[in-house]
Chains A and B, each alone.
Chain A
Amino acid sequence: MNREELQAMAQAELDQQQKFRCRILVCMSTPCISSGATAVQEALVEALKAGQLEAEVETVATGCLGPCSRGPLITIKAEGKADVIYENVSSDMAKGLVDKHFKAVSVPALDKNILPSDIPFFTKQMQIVLADSGAIDPEKLEPYVARGGYTALAHALREMSPEEVCQEITKSGLRGRGGAGFPSGLKWDMVRKAAGEKKYVVANGDEGDPGAYMDRTLMESDPHRVLEGMAIAGYAVGAEQGYIYVRGEYPLAGKRLEKAIRQAERKGLLGNRILESPFNFRIDIRMGAGAFVCGEETALMQSVMGRRGQPMPRPPYPAHKGLWQSPTLLNNVETFGNIAAIITKGAAWYASFGTETTKGSKIFALAGKVNNTGLIEVPIGITLREIVYDIGGGIPGGKAFKAAQTGGPSGGCIPAQFMDVPIDYESLGKLGSIMGSGGLIVMDETSCIPDVAKFFMEFCTDESCGKCGPCRGGTVQMLRMLEKITDGTADKDTIPRLEELCLMVKEASLCGLGQTCPNPIYSTLRYFRDEYEAHIMDHHCPAGVCTFSKKL
């Protein structure tokens, strides 16, 4: 396939879509499927058939729309009318929906299910990576191409040198979305310049943070965007082989990516001589098998090579010696999701969003005690208050906001007094938390902070790989201390000892997991020390969560 054929394909798909008077988009990502989206789609198809409308109305299974707690969600796109989104759709509403929209029968019962598209949940977002999510069928190539897909790859291959691509990424100010925020352009350039016959590109889709599912949604809802980003990266650094490491818990993402890779290979968008250029690039999927530590880059590479996912000391960095000792470019799936947009719209456009140090947008998985949970993509520099109260719609039951946990088990809690700080890598770091991969859990006054810290430490103890002593032994001991605090058997000097141990594990551990796992304790000791003290001194849990076994 060449560029003209790509355009022809886009045009053909658009013409095809024009044939229908109306399109019904049914969200088919994991949360909506589990609330019954499949049945809804079947019922809609039935209802359309019964009304003899199947030639005029098309139903499309799309990726994630965002407000997952309200699923199943459908969008009705009619010509010349504004889109209508319905929430909590059930299969017995199908007939009513068809009647209302295509037969002009008034069905007032449906109005309560309409989700206005001008609520802050939608209007406050800025979608770059998720632009097509919820709008296209992720199991097909053509809809992605129709929305301008793969033109960035074509453009890069024809108009740009690998060096220029790296420069463009550097200029855009894109930083790794995996959590640490390393400037992507710099990394690409390092791999490009590294000596080595074979080079590899690896996409990290091992999203182990509990409470984060941005990568899953992206891979499930718009797999071709990730593939395109990887192919551009392959061209820029001189790699011919890519791997996507998909977390084992996400079988649907793996299935859709595999399908996408086959479609792209068949059309010559991956494989040999891509778009009739001399560039070859293939992508293989590696499924994880349940190990959080494999999100760490050196452990991930061990796992790609089929070994125990234990991290290796750095340096040598993967950019110099990665997979099979060859230079390897390792980026998060979300980072790759940004690439196509940067190449098409330009670095300057991308850099116009965000803060001084951090550009673009970030996807957050908003969850916990908040009215609108779901997936949001917001410009960097937004404040926590806007996320929680505008997009999230506030806290249910009118309870008070207590803290927001970002960055999962590597991050920390942000208390209410910092709600107006613009969010970027640096500001979160100063607050003792991290951007992380983008999990954002809201906690209200009924959450007990030491208990939450204990939850994360339990997780880290479980997920520590056991290679280095500080993390292996330290997590066990930190967990023990927290257990004592939450059941009232801790003594006065537990807090200083815990603090000391946190600092040691943070500074002495081998890999990122060990170095960040004390963060949930460390940051909460900073802001919620009184709560820890109340547990120890007064045997009182301010949130009423902990039960004290031994009363002194």
Chain B
Amino acid sequence: MPETSPKTKGAEKEHPMGDPRYKGIDRVLKRQQYQQDALIEVLTAAQEAFGYLTEESMIYIARQLKLPFSWIYGVATFYHFFSLKPQGEHSCIVCLGTACYVGKAADIIASVEEAYKVKAGSTTDDGKLTLIATRCLGCCGLAPVVVLDQVVHGKETPQGAVAKVREVVAGGNGA
């Protein structure tokens, strides 16, 4: 019925946690039928919804899946994909897989680190850029590889990478 359906939709919008982003978590919880085995999927959904794993979201998941807090925290810190800290507006992922390493990707990391005064694995003080070193993205044919805001750039050089990072950070979307 067209009259009532928007209303129920409106009612759904109000999540008991007071934040509509929890709906993303609920969707996965329902799809996985609240099974405890699906913890990693649920945590992934939470990270997608919030950008990182907030403490509240982990408590919420613990309650929904009926798992101990320490269990959730233990799993969230075991996997490198999950971040417990807010991420920067832009991300720069430098691949440090073997092929990229042989292709001197370490120099790229070093030059970005120097240009932005940020250590790999952390975010700049102004929250603009997160620099991440990762182990192999499976694009070894293009080594060394840098991923800026989900866009893969292959056969990169230190200077070129820094220039592209500047472009991305300055212009919002470099692509």
Answer whether residue A441 sits at the interface, using C-beta atoms and an 8 A cutoff.
yes
Q: Mark A33-61, 1 if CB is under 8 A from B, else 0.
A: 11100000000000000000000000000
* Contact for A290 among B79, B139, B142, B152, CB less than 8 A: B79
The answer for the CA separation of A211 and B95 in the assembled complex, in Å, is 10
In this complex, what residue of B is CB-closest to A451?
B101
Q: Are B99 and A441 in contact (CB under 8 A)?
A: yes
Number of interface residues of B (CB under 8 A): 37
- Which 5 A/B pairs are nearest by Cβ-Cβ distance? A68-B141, A34-B152, A213-B138, A211-B98, A289-B79
Q: Are A367 and B138 in contact (CB under 8 A)?
A: no
Given A210-B97, A459-B135, does the pair A34, B153 have CB atoms closer than 8 Å? yes
Q: Which of B145-164 contact A (CB under 8 A)?
A: 145, 151-154
Answer whether residue A216 sits at the interface, using C-beta atoms and an 8 A cutoff.
yes
B78 / chain A contacts, CB cutoff of 8 Å: 291, 308-310, 465
Q: Are A216 and B37 in contact (CB under 8 A)?
A: no
Chain A: minimal CB distance from B109 (Å): 13
Answer whether residue A249 sits at the interface, using C-beta atoms and an 8 A cutoff.
yes
Q: Which positions in B face A, CB cutoff 8 Å?
A: 36-41, 43-44, 74-75, 78-82, 96-99, 101-103, 134-143, 145, 151-154
Answer whether residue A222 sits at the interface, using C-beta atoms and an 8 A cutoff.
no
Chain B: minimal CB distance from A476 (Å): 18
| A31, A292, A439, A465, most chain B CB atoms within 10 A | A31
Answer whether residue A487 sits at the interface, using C-beta atoms and an 8 A cutoff.
no
Given A210-B97, A290-B81, A309-B79, does the pair A303, B40 have CB atoms closer than 8 Å? yes
Given A35-B142, A291-B80, does the pair A213, B136 have CB atoms closer than 8 Å? yes
The answer for the CA separation of A71 and B141 in the assembled complex, in Å, is 9
The answer for the CA separation of A534 and B80 in the assembled complex, in Å, is 37
The answer for the CA separation of A443 and B104 in the assembled complex, in Å, is 12
Q: Are A211 and B99 in contact (CB under 8 A)?
A: yes
Q: Mark A466-491, 1 if CB is under 8 A from B, else 0.
A: 00000000000000000000000000
B99 / chain A contacts, CB cutoff of 8 Å: 210-211, 367-368, 373, 441
A368 / chain B contacts, CB cutoff of 8 Å: 98-99, 102-103, 143
The answer for the CA separation of A319 and B43 in the assembled complex, in Å, is 29
Q: Are B98 and A33 in contact (CB under 8 A)?
A: no
Q: Which positions in A face B, CB cutoff 8 Å?
A: 30-31, 33-35, 67-69, 71, 207-213, 216-217, 248-250, 286-292, 303-310, 365, 367-369, 373-375, 405, 408, 439, 441, 443, 447, 452, 455-456, 459, 462-463, 465
Q: Are B40 and A249 in contact (CB under 8 A)?
A: no
Chain B: minimal CB distance from A291 (Å): 5
Given A210-B135, A290-B81, A308-B75, does the pair A367, B140 have CB atoms closer than 8 Å? yes
A210 / chain B contacts, CB cutoff of 8 Å: 96-99, 101, 135-136
Chain A: minimal CB distance from B144 (Å): 11
Given A286-B40, A306-B36, A307-B75, does the pair A31, B141 have CB atoms closer than 8 Å? yes
Q: Are B41 and A287 in contact (CB under 8 A)?
A: yes
Q: Are A34 and B97 in contact (CB under 8 A)?
A: no
In this complex, what residue of B is CB-closest to A67?
B141
Chain A: minimal CB distance from B112 (Å): 18
In this complex, what residue of B is CB-closest to A69?
B141
B153 / chain A contacts, CB cutoff of 8 Å: 34
The answer for the CA separation of A310 and B81 in the assembled complex, in Å, is 16
B139 / chain A contacts, CB cutoff of 8 Å: 30-31, 34, 68, 213
Chain B: minimal CB distance from A372 (Å): 9
A443 / chain B contacts, CB cutoff of 8 Å: 102
The answer for the CA separation of A209 and B99 in the assembled complex, in Å, is 11
A408 / chain B contacts, CB cutoff of 8 Å: 98
